[in-house]
């Protein structure tokens, strides 16, 4: 009995071997492969799933930040776009003068989980039911459209609606 502390047990010190993946994070005891609890102190081992979820969350935040920054870079020009009726897609004078428009629209479409390998046509329908509406048609390359890849894009709201397979530009795409 040292110092009169009868019956009091010292708490095990934490391991100083954080680099050893087979050591308990509480007491430093080696953990047999496949065990989830330290046989010495009973501490639960951290799950690898925690690291996976952390990495996935960090990646999602980075992607969201990129999309938002891309959208905010273009949002100041939507008032100018409002005055441009008709074709604002690839090859148009408007798209040539505003090179960030087509990548911004494509990024918005894909960030909502839709396919748009190549933005083939973009038409400004000015005011739709939900504000300024761009009608986008995508395809496998610049020379071919996929009628099913037909979207209403709202830059100001940063939203995308899927339209009926394309037949012609018009109010059927909201």
Contact 152, 135 (CB under 8 A): yes
Evaluate if residue 117 carries a pLDDT over 90. Answer: yes
Of 30-34, 87-91, 110-114, the range with the lowest mean pLDDT is 30-34
Domain count, the chain: 1
pLDDT, tens only, 7-18:
566 555 554 444
pLDDT, tens only, 104-113:
899 999 998 9
- Asked if residue 8 is part of any domain, the answer here is no
- Asked if residue 129 is part of any domain, the answer here is yes
Exposure class string for 58-73: b at 16+ Cβ within 10 A, else e: eeeeeeeeebeebbee
Query: Which pTM does this prediction carry?
Result: 0.52
DSSP character string of 5-53: -TTPPPPPPPPS-TT-TTB-TTT-PBPPTT-SB-TTT-PBPPPHHHHHH
Evaluate if residue 73 carries a pLDDT over 70. Answer: no
Classify 61 as helix, strand or coil.
Answer: helix
d(CA 95, CA 91): 7
- Asked if residue 45 is part of any domain, the answer here is no
DSSP lists the bridge partners of residue 152 as 135, 161
| 110 Cβ contact list (under 8 Å, min separation 6) | 116
* Average confidence (pLDDT) over 43-72: 71
- Asked if residue 94 is part of any domain, the answer here is yes
Contact 136, 153 (CB under 8 A): yes
d(CA 146, CA 115): 10
Q: Which of 40, 39, 31, 36 is closest to 12 using CA atoms?
A: 40
- Asked if residue 23 is part of any domain, the answer here is no
pLDDT at 110: 92
- Asked if residue 113 is part of any domain, the answer here is yes
* Average confidence (pLDDT) over 152-161: 85
Q: What is the mean pLDDT of the chain?
A: 75
Structural domain boundaries enclosing 103: 77-162
- Asked if residue 85 is part of any domain, the answer here is yes
């Amino acid at each position: 009995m040292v110092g009169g502390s009868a019956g009091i047990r010292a708490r095990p010190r934490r391991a100083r071997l954080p680099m050893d993946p087979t050591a308990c994070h509480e007491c430093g005891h080696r953990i047999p492969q496949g065990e989830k609890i330290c046989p010495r102190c009973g501490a639960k081992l951290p799950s690898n799933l925690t690291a996976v979820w952390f990495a996935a969350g960090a990646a999602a935040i980075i992607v969201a930040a990129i999309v938002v920054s891309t959208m905010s870079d273009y949002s100041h020009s939507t008032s100018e776009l409002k005055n441009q009726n008709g074709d604002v897609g690839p090859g148009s004078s408007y798209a040539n003068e505003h090179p960030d428009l087509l990548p911004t629209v494509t990024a918005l479409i894909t960030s909502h989980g839709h396919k748009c390998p190549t933005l083939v046509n973009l038409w400004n329908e000015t005011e739709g039911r939900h504000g300024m509406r761009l009608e986008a048609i995508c395809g496998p390359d610049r020379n071919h459209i996929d009628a099913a890849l037909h979207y209403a894009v709202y830059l100001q709201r940063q939203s995308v609606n899927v339209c009926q397979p394309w037949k012609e530009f018009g109010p059927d795409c909201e």
